A and B are shown apart, each in its own frame.
Chain A
């Protein structure tokens, strides 16, 4: 079945959500991934939104931001930011989903400033809640466009922590959360080696070669032992995604 790359990405992200989990949902594509998971394999997953909303039912309409009124309609809870960040810091949130501008071989994310090809600094919007989600969630899934400039060996500014420089860095700096488990891009999925804590290539999307992914990655990628091709969305998943985003605002 034909699908867009974004539909494939969002489906892959949704599949990282397990039923019954508390999920801290970032903006843009993560909003759709959570909505898809709720309607498919994870009906009892609970969404935390940093504006202070907790949802157990899917939002009745497409969301452009978490503050959109459909996200408040029949929410379980509307309160303040500390009411969701507190449980996140306590370790109650199983999974966080965020995007980024740059991600490096240890899953560190930069959304603060990057340097362009002419050496000029480009100012980006900043952390938002991403640093907190990356610091404190049990697992972290990162959703990114796969371009060489976005995949440097080391991020130029560490906004949201992955595994630092490896070697149990998280523990040494005092970070409680579990760290990233997957980087899901428009070409491939990278996961993290449990010993070296380095991102390894786990799957490429249909029609994409390992060489193409390597070309767009700023460090030498190792292949995972169980390397494979990313499974396509099922017919059901696609149907639901297209119901969630009928005009293709996010997915086309």
Chain B
């Protein structure tokens, strides 16, 4: 089998190309692949289309850094602090350049990816009828049910070029254990042609095979794996670290103007040469504060026969 475990810079360099569509932030507020996003910025990727339900600040960052020309999303901002200033500047003033937005709800993003995962052109839904979301998004077209005649929304399939997801642990073949809230992660992986996984750690296949119900992403769907401890910081990864609330609030305060944002970007993304340098900048004290204080292991299940 081809070696899937490669450095993050190589995974992004090799599998994310200018102009592609990339689904990110599939766990909603948790498991956001920030380290991969920072690497996309460092490598100066351009004209990306970002797809996601909510993104917390990762979409805002990528937009401000000039990587993005299109967003297919339900919500773009800073969940605990409010608006995303880069998103606003891009939509309102075309800074750093124009941004096209396809407005969705969380459910329509989830259903679009689900249709993609099922290999069908659309799925019907009852949400968003009569709204401007539905009227203005050509991929939420009203139809009538062929059986009952009811009014429905046909949510068009979403098939991203690349999915980037962060998980707790994986083996060298890319079989991933993850736990906690999943958001749209599984459908995003199944709907995408290329899947990049960043993982907190690599474990032996024995660990994975001991609990196949926990293998929510089978390695056959995974293109590349990068070992990136703290790869979702500042978002949380249950069992590994909590949300760095302060980071989100500082970002909000420190990115109000374009100049402030560029300073922030230099300080947190461009000057640290890689993820290790970013973690050194955060410092051991800050990281330690984010570690879980309460241990809560699940009870093992038996797969004996």
Contacts and interface: CB of A to CB of B under 8 A. Distances in A.
A78 B178 CA distance: 11
A73 B132 CA distance: 37
A129 B294 contact: no
Contact of B238 (A69, A82, A170): A69
Interface in B65-106: 73-77, 79-80, 82-84, 87-88, 91-92, 103-106
B154 interface: no
A131 B126 contact: no
A149 B103 CA distance: 23
A67 B243 contact: yes
A85 B242 contact: no
B183 A52 contact: yes
B152 interface: yes
Contacts of B152: 174
A127 B75 contact: yes
B126 A136 contact: yes
A28 B74 CA distance: 17
Contacts of B56: 65
Interface string A23-59: 0000110000000000000000000011111000000
Given A51-B28, A131-B105, 10 more contacts: A50-B28, A65-B243, A82-B110, A82-B111, A125-B87, A126-B74, A127-B106, A135-B129, A158-B133, A170-B130
Contacts of B289: none
Given A126-B76, A174-B151, A81 B107 contact: yes
A52 B29 contact: no
B195 interface: no
A121 B92 contact: yes
Contacts of B229: none
Interface stretch (A13-21, A159-167, A204-212, A230-238): A159-167
B193 to A, nearest CB: 21
Contacts of A81: 28, 53, 106-107, 110, 182-184
30 contacts: A51-B29, A52-B181, A52-B182, A65-B243, A67-B243, A68-B30, A68-B242, A72-B238, A78-B179, A79-B182, A81-B28, A81-B110, A82-B110, A85-B110, A89-B126, A89-B127, A112-B103, A112-B132, A125-B87, A126-B75, A127-B105, A129-B53, A131-B131, A135-B129, A157-B132, A158-B133, A161-B128, A170-B130, A174-B151, A175-B126
Interface centre among A80, A160, A161 (most CB of B within 10 A): A80
Contacts of B242: 68-69
Interface in A163-183: 164, 169-170, 173-176
B105 A132 contact: yes
Contacts of A74: 296
Interface centre among B114, B131, B186 (most CB of A within 10 A): B131
B7 interface: no
B209 to A, nearest CB: 22
A72 B29 CA distance: 12
A128 B130 contact: no
Interface in A137-161: 157-161
